[in-house]
Amino acid sequence: MTLLSVFLEDTTALLVALPLLGAFSAPLVGKVSAKARNLWVIAIMALAELAAVSLLVDVLGGNPHFYAVGASDPALPSAAGFPFRIVLVADAMSALVAALAMTMALLSVIYSLRYESGNEGLEKYYSLVLLLAGAMMGLCLTGDFFTLFVFLEIASISSAGLIAFFSSAESFEAAFKYMVVSASGALFLLFGVGMLYGQYGMLNMASIGDSMAAQATFVDLAALSLLVSALLLKSGSVPVHMWKPDAYQEAPPQVVVMLVSFALLSLYLIFRICFSVFGAMVFPAIGWTVAILGALSIFVGVVMAVPQRNLRRLIGYAAIAEIGYVMLGVGTSLLAMHDSTGVGMSSMHGGIFHMLNDAIDMGLLLLVVGAVTYATKRQELDQVSGLAHRSGALAALFLIGVLSIAGLPPLNGFASKVIIYESVFRINPMLSVIGILGSIMMLAVFVKIFASVFLGAPYKGCFRKIPRSMLIPMVVLAVIMIFIGLFPGLVLERLVFPAAEALLNQEMYFGGVL
């Protein structure tokens, strides 16, 4: 057996284990020198990214992975007759989100090499970043409810630490607010998990889904609504969105990129729980709730983005609106899953596709705004102007991000939003109209920023040169965006359709574990 085949066989577990190893060894390596620490962190992240991509390629080849931690066979039942093991599941959907979250984490680590280089205590910063990355991998791949709770808590504790890391009074305030929301959300999640355990006596998602009767009981529905509301809290949808602008304003921009993927992962978990576990029994009221909250998030997000003067805070509100689009897709697909017209299917495609695009678009905008802060040491909208004269590349990158997030044609944001509008329109035209109006207002907001930050008389203040390690992640994201925008059909067919297929195919999901 070659090393490569061992690597491929255990990628699922390595994906969680590698960042954790890096997280706990980073402070030790940091004792040697800062350079060794940076190299070590980058090496670990690159290896994990390699694992994520090879896992995705392998899974898309029609070969889902089921990995039982501490056993050779996931199907091995316990003495009680059902699987009592921790199972990691990588099907087309979870491998896709894992690869996405890992890519964003790798880019954010590369970006922070120079962005944070002036600060002290960076080994602790890298520990937290790697811990967050490992916990996100766990969230993507976990096959049982309790591990889900544990990884969710690891992710929220480490992101709270990161929000407060570069201490200022405001950042502690933002982190405290974030912690209150996410800790109470996690308690509700645990309560829902406890209900499911009381009903079925197990925690494994596949075996719970398998033993559910055709008709959901009251306890099932109560548990499902607790789980969904807890995950919506984590994703920062209206009405519990207030932690988001604070956290996005105070955390360093490359960390916010990871927070965006964490928020999207909670929507992925809603997908996973509703379709893979509960399957046909999902109550339409839950679909309506998610869709209407999505429309409200779009509305509140763009309306509140208009008066903002702090660039990062503004992007925080825009992120609430963007989450709303994914929620519209998720909610509509829950509503119309068994519709013969295929509306549910296409809105699911739209939701998954927009998940990809949202992470990439928000990532690019945040990194550009971070670069503006790095170069000028300012982040108020009216303190900087005319930056296009100093750095044309930055202006071009920002423009690409703006056009994509507003959903204009040759870019990726357009492709996914159109699918969502079309399918939502057939369920309820009102929701679709809110979505389109939100998109237009988003364009107005961002064009205003572009004009005031990049256009105008040349910027007079001091302007630090943007280092290459910060430009590379932005350029990579922009290239991916243009690629997806030019070939949306290819991405849909190769990545999104198999992912939706994997979510709906409950037999495959149960069969691998039982």
Shortest spacing between CB 219 and another protein, in angstroms: 12
Nearer to another protein, 4 or 80 (CB): 80
The helix or strand, by DSSP H or E, that contains position 88, with its residue range, turns out to be strand 87-90
Q: What angle in degrees, to the nearest 10, is found between the helix axes of 145-163 and 253-271? A: 160
Ranges of H-type helices in 280-411: 284-305, 311-335, 343-376, 392-405
Neighbours of 217 (CB within 10 A): 12
| Distance in Å, CB of 303 to another protein, minimum | 12
Output the smallest distance, CB 444 to another protein, in A: 19
Q: Which residues make up the interface to another protein (CB under 8 A)? A: 84, 146, 149-150, 153, 157, 160-161, 164, 167-170, 172-177, 179-180, 183-184, 186-187, 190-191, 194, 197-198, 201, 203, 246, 249-250, 307-308
Closer residue to another protein, CB minimum distance, 185 or 498: 185
List residues bridging with 204 in a β-sheet: 144
Burial class (CB in 10 A: 0-12, 13-18, 19+), 73: exposed
Q: Closer to another protein at the Cβ: 186 or 365?
A: 186
CA atoms of 42 and 337, how far apart (whole Å): 42
b/e per residue 29-56 (b: at least 16 CB within 10 A): bbeeeeeebbebbbebbebbbbbbbbbb
Burial 170-199 (b: 16+ CB within 10 A, else e): ebeebbebbbebbeebbebbbebbbbbeeb
Shortest distance in whole angstroms from residue 71 CB to another protein:
17
Q: Which is nearer to another protein, 167 or 215 (CB)?
A: 167
- List of E strands, 25-79: 65-68
Instruction: Considering the complex, state which of residue 243 and residue 446 has its C-beta at the smaller distance from another protein.
Output: 243
Compute the chain's Rg from CA coordinates: 22
How far apart are alpha carbons 443 and 366 in whole angstroms? 16
Task: Measure the CA–CA gap between 449 and 70, rounded to whole angstroms.
Answer: 53
Element (H, E) at 429: helix 429-454
Our CB check for another protein shows the closer of 20 and 360 to be: 20
DSSP track, 441-506: HHHHHHHHHHHHHHSSSPP-S--PPPPHHHHHHHHHHHHHHHHHHH-HHHHIIIIIHHHHHHHH-H
Scored b (16 or more CB within 10 A) or e, 337-372 reads bebeeebbbbbbbbbbbbbbbbbbbbbbbbbbbbbb
Q: Which is nearer to another protein, 33 or 78 (CB)?
A: 78
Q: Which is nearer to another protein, 146 or 497 (CB)?
A: 146
Taking the least distance from each CB to another protein, the nearer of 69 and 504 is 69
- Give the integer Cα–Cα distance in Å for 435 and 294: 9
- Find the shortest distance in angstroms from Cβ 194 to another protein: 5
Please report how close the Cβ of residue 165 comes to another protein at its closest, in angstroms: 12
For another protein, the closer CB: 126 or 243:
243
Q: How far apart are CA 319 and CA 364, in angstroms?
A: 12
Least Å distance, CB 487 to another protein, is: 41
Other beta carbons within 10 angstroms of residue 380's beta carbon come to 10
Name residue, tokens 């990355």: 133
Q: Name which of 79 and 214 has its Cβ closer to another protein.
A: 79
- The label of the residue with tokens 């390596």 reads 29
